[in-house]
Amino acid sequence: MSLILNGNAVRDQIKEECRPRVAAMKAKAGRAPGLAVVLVGDNAASAVYVRNKTKTAEELGLHHETITRDASLTTEGLLEIIAGLNARTDIDGILVQLPLPPHIDAQKALLAVAPEKDVDGFHPYNAGLLSTGRPGLRPCTPAGVIELLKRNQIPIAGRNAVVVGRSDIVGKPMALLLLQENATVTICHSRTHDLPGVCRGGEILVAAIGRPAMITEEYIRPGAVVIDVGMNTVRTRAEAERIFDASRLADFDRRGSLLVGDVRPADMAKVASAYTPVPGGVGPLTIAMLMRNTIEAAERRC
């Protein structure tokens, strides 16, 4: 029977480890670590993510602020906000919630965040530290995957790991973190020749390609550990029928939509030795690692 890798349980472990670090900083510096989140526009999913982040910060005793602006904000206006946050001594971490409205230059905004406050780990400075194996702020989702594997006693060293997806946010840093754990790593993507065959070479398969249930049984090596990073919303009955069994279809009919990762759930459960569910797998770890990054940034600045 496949092991379900419970991201909620690991998230709770990380949060408990954060609490004494927050208390120690309050005792040392007279203040809590500070996190500022900048939310621009009216993207409903982004608003939910930001609420979850601030709720977790509140639980852990972090100082937190959410700066909201409507979609009329210009790139220059956003850069001014970021510059102000960079200058504040009570703010240790800055997160610019993506996606931004299309008229805003997202690259300029992310580059404007001071590297030492880049708790998303997206700045080229932090990407460079990661690529050269130096300590630094790591992208939250890939770092959470490593925690999930380690805390479930899943060996990484010496194993063949395949990462499907090459984004700067997940795919590339995921490959580098696995490499640092002494895995033999292959990065592949939608244009890879014989993608199913390449994926079947993975003893650890990380799916981060952003396509609902694209990875099916033919992509999965029997007994592989499958980490599904995808988070997609299924909104049509036809797509739901392609992906889900009868019991989940009843859920779809009741709710009108369902979340699914990049891997077909039934195939993952059938073939893998261990796998992450969606939801409840990798997702909860992203926010936990964001909190840990904020605390780490604060500790370095004190």
**Confidence band (pLDDT; 50, 70, 90) for 1?**
confident
Per the listing, tokens 């919630």 go with 97
Closest CA to 83 of 94, 68, 73, 74: 94
Catalytic annotation, residues: 53, 97, 120
Contact 110, 122 (CB under 8 A): yes
Write down the pLDDT at residue 229. Answer: 97
In the chain, the amino acid numbered 136 is G
pTM: 0.95
Return d(Cα 299, Cα 25) in angstroms, integer.
Answer: 7
Structure confidence at residue 56 (pLDDT): 96
- In whole angstroms, give the CA distance from residue 64 to residue 70: 20
- Distance between CA atoms of residues 165 and 268, nearest Å: 18
The structural domains of the chain, ordered by start, are 29-114 (3.40.50.10860), 140-283 (3.40.50.720)
CA-based angle 113:132:181, to the nearest 5? 110
Assess whether pLDDT exceeds 90 at residue 84. yes
pLDDT tens digit sequence for 59-77:
999 999 999 999 999 999 9
* pLDDT surpassing 90 at residue 43: no
**Tens-place pLDDT, residues 234-274:** 999 999 999 998 889 999 999 999 999 999 999 999 999 99
Which one has a higher pLDDT value, 13 or 190? 13
What φ, ψ does residue 163 adopt, rounded to 5°? -110, 120
Q: What is the DSSP letter of 101?
A: P
Q: Contact at 8 Å (CB) between 229 and 207? A: yes
Residue 216 tokens read as 């099916």
